[in-house]
Structure 1
Amino acid sequence: MESTTRPLYGGMVELLVPQSMTDVSDHRPVPDHQEVFSDGLTDQSLIVEVVELANEVREKGKREAALWHFKDLARANEATEATVSYVDTAFREHMLSALTPESSVTLLHGIQRVAKHRDDVSAANEVLICLCEATLPEHDTEILVTMNTPLRVSEGSSQFGQIRAPLTEEERERRAAQAVEDFKKIASSLKVADYRLFGG
């Protein structure tokens, strides 16, 4: 993966972003709490969100909090299926930046079947979801980093033939493995350069 460190939120956060991805805000409005990048050839996307740490998340513990966000994303995507295949609650050990003393970082990946735009649910695509949930209790904040990688495009999807997608099971497995490794590098690069972002 060829990548470059990008300044986010006015330079207050830094993150590795694949060079194949462009800033979505150059083409359409993006909410202030988000930074969104996408690859037009593969429809792979990377989303960073800074959100208030809700009590319901705080009370769940690291593993359950990450699972909650995965399920919440599945609801937002109107996914017909959502299966978690991996959870690492000790990913903070792999971070290049220590974040805060009380911070915790959980890495998760799984599969969701999601219909694109106005497509019928019968035309849902298989998408690998990689999610990093960083909790900063001192600032009542969560930083969520999510990467979506299409692995199988339904023949009934409006994207069929429009994006570069794996055609065989072997290609899908290779794409998924590469995406997971790339995401680990991306997530481990997360750095808060200025904690005033959180209002402190």
Structure 2
Amino acid sequence: MSSNKYRSTPLFGGALVCDLPDKFADVSKLREVPDNQEVWIDKDGFTSIIFDITERVGPAGSGLESDGRALTVHLEDLVGSDIDTVKVWNTTETQFTTLDEDLPAYTLIATQTPKSSSKESSSAPDFTALILTLLRLEKVSTDVLITINVPHIKGEYDEDEVDLALGKQGELIGDAVEYAAKIWESFKIRDWNLFNEV
């Protein structure tokens, strides 16, 4: 059983709420964060959790093909021109426990490896794992993205424990998967008007 402790955390002024790990801090208390984002960072590490409210991508209606395309568009937006450094390991349909079962949601696990030229910086991660969940809210023309970024910096993780091709996630990704599962279980929309404002 993991030792992570969670607390119910209001997001966007309480319009959304979910359980986040105790050890995560609200980045907006340290620096400016766009109105459509909530950014939380691990006080003891490098992992961050970002909630992003964006305009819905793609045509009306829902289905694996159009939703899958939307997930790809959001991933490309996230990593920008570095898309060729990204490897997607798996994509699954996701169920948010407290939301209507009809709301489509998907999660992918990917890794992004920096281009070799950036290796000169010793603080550059060997790679960053991404757990990206897309929640499709068609009736308010909104996509909610929940991204957990997990930089793996040399000396900060056990390299022998991580081999996604063999299904070995290591401790950092294992924790991030647990955070994601806790968010899917506890995520609630308290005020739908939020999506008209952002």
TM-score range, shorter chain: 0.7 to 0.9
Is the alpha carbon distance of 1:67 and 1:58 closer, same or farther for their aligned partners in structure 2, counting shifts above 3 Å? farther
Query: Which whole-Å CA distance do the structure 1 matches of 2:114 and 2:38 have between them?
Result: 21
CA shift, 1:71, in A, is: 2.6
TM-score, normalization by structure 2: 0.80
Number of positions where the alignment pairs a residue of Structure 1 with one of Structure 2: 182
Please state whether the residue corresponding to 1:199 is helix, strand or coil.
helix
Query: Which whole-Å CA distance do the structure 1 matches of 2:33 and 2:90 have between them?
Result: 29
CA shift, 1:50, in A, is: 0.8
Deviations 1:42-76 (A, max 9, x none): 11100001111133697852222223222321216
CA shift, 1:188, in A, is: 3.1
Give 1:34's aligned residue.
37
Is the alpha carbon distance of 1:58 and 1:113 closer, same or farther for their aligned partners in structure 2, counting shifts above 3 Å? farther
- Residue 192 of structure 2 aligns to which amino acid in structure 1? Y
Query: Which whole-Å CA distance do the structure 1 matches of 2:112 and 2:60 have between them?
Result: 22
Give 1:66's aligned residue.
71
Q: Identity over aligned residues, as a percent? A: 25
Give 1:169's aligned residue.
160
Give 2:16's aligned residue.
13
Let me know the Cα RMSD of the aligned residues: 2.6
Query: Which whole-Å CA distance do the structure 1 matches of 2:84 and 2:69 have between them?
Result: 21
Give 1:84's aligned residue.
88
Give 1:113's aligned residue.
113
TM-score, normalization by structure 1: 0.79
- Residue 168 of structure 1 aligns to which amino acid in structure 2? E
- Residue 181 of structure 1 aligns to which amino acid in structure 2? E
User: Structure 2 matches for 1:188-199, cutoff 5 A?
Assistant: 188-199=185-196
Deviations 1:103-154 (A, max 9, x none): 2111111111248xxx952354211100110001111011110001122x25
Is the alpha carbon distance of 1:56 and 1:71 closer, same or farther for their aligned partners in structure 2, counting shifts above 3 Å? farther
Kept after mapping to 1: 8 A contact 2:105/2:134: yes
- Residue 77 of structure 2 aligns to which amino acid in structure 1? D
Q: Which runs of 5+ in 2 are unaligned?
A: 163-168
- Residue 128 of structure 2 aligns to which amino acid in structure 1? V
Is the alpha carbon distance of 1:65 and 1:36 closer, same or farther for their aligned partners in structure 2, counting shifts above 3 Å? same
CA shift, 1:102, in A, is: 4.8
Is the alpha carbon distance of 1:68 and 1:79 closer, same or farther for their aligned partners in structure 2, counting shifts above 3 Å? closer
Deviations 1:80-120 (A, max 9, x none): 6101111112x12xx12124x752111111111248xxx95
